[in-house]
Amino acid sequence: MQDQPGVLLIADEWGPPSGVIAVHWHSVLTADLKVGWISALLVDPERRRNGVARLLLKAASQAARSAGCGELVLHAPIAPGDLRTFCLATGFVEGGEVFTRALRKRG
């Protein structure tokens, strides 16, 4: 993370952290705006299904949008499960092993 622009956000409650998200952004040839890549999204198993990941994603989206990103990308294995369900429920579009979520409204 030190060599690239981005953010590392930690969800903290009483005790140890509840979750973390790491997002870095850069320009790509196939997009007009920078792309934010989620390289880590982890939530304590005991804190899952309590909105921690949604809050982390919201904060990371705001940071990426402020940095000029047009979308977020998350690479995930093709398999049914909690991560796939979470991505689809939070506005990501599935494309193989990559989930993409627009950050700006298209007009």
**In the prediction, which pLDDT does 55 show?**
94
Q: How far is CA 96 from CA 36, 83, 86, 99, 100, in A?
A: 18, 14, 16, 8, 10
**In the prediction, which pLDDT does 3 show?**
66
* Cβ-proximal residues to 89 (8 Å cutoff; 6+ apart), any chain: none
Q: Per-residue confidence of the chain (107 residues) as pLDDT tens digits?
A: 456 789 999 998 777 889 999 999 999 898 889 999 999 999 998 888 888 999 999 999 999 999 999 999 998 776 667 788 888 899 999 888 889 899 976 55
pTM for the whole structure: 0.84
Query: Is residue 16 within 8 Å of residue 52, measured between CB atoms?
Result: no
Count Cβ atoms below 10 Å from residue 49 Cβ, excluding itself: 10
